[in-house]
Structure 1
Amino acid sequence: MTVSIIHALAHWILGVFRPGTGRRRAGTHPAAAAPARVRERRPGPAVVPLPVPRSPYGLPVLLDGARTAPIRPYVLAAERAEQERERERARQTRRRVALVLAADFGVDLDLHVVGAERAA
């Protein structure tokens, strides 16, 4: 008797959690699609088509290698920035030397200023 109860319980659990067999869908038919409504086209502004994209590799004109830069522009920009920093360091060094000479030895390096000889 206990075995039949266990079997009945297992059969019921499998019936609940087993995937469907598809019997319920066997007799149904898909609904017919509704016919699409045709809209009237109103005259509007003329549509200008976009130009066809072209690859530069397919052009009949060859690229001139002498006129193109062989290096990336960001590399040139970094080199220019480094040169500018070097120039600024050199200017700052000259200013510091002039300040030390003026403060310690009384040497005035600003001879290009008009009247600087009389002021010093």
Structure 2
Amino acid sequence: MHDLIPRALQWLRLLFAPGTGKRRRRPHRPPFPHLHLTLVRCPLTAEPPRLPSHRSPYGLATLLDGAESALARPYLTAHEREAALQQRRRLALVLAADFGIDLDRHVIGAPEVTA
């Protein structure tokens, strides 16, 4: 904290004194350029097409029936079908292994066996 007063004065001088001139202002220009406007009469054109009015999906006159729309994702239904098939295979395997009951009546490529 040496030379506290000169440091404070130098700081105030840098803060309030004019700049060094390295970043000079540009010459004064009017804030808005002078425009020379010429009035031109345009022929009357047809009105541009309007956008349709905004309709809220919550204010429809008829209610939506969920059973009518096919909003199910196809990969979910395929997964459910595959899970049901896997469950049937497991049941057939358990019944065949534990009780000797065969649920598959048609096996491709195997001759039919009569008991």
Q: TM > 0.5 between the two?
A: no
Q: TM-score, normalised by structure 1?
A: 0.36
> Which structure dedicates a bigger proportion of its chain to helix?
1
Give the TM-score taking structure 2 as reference length.
0.36
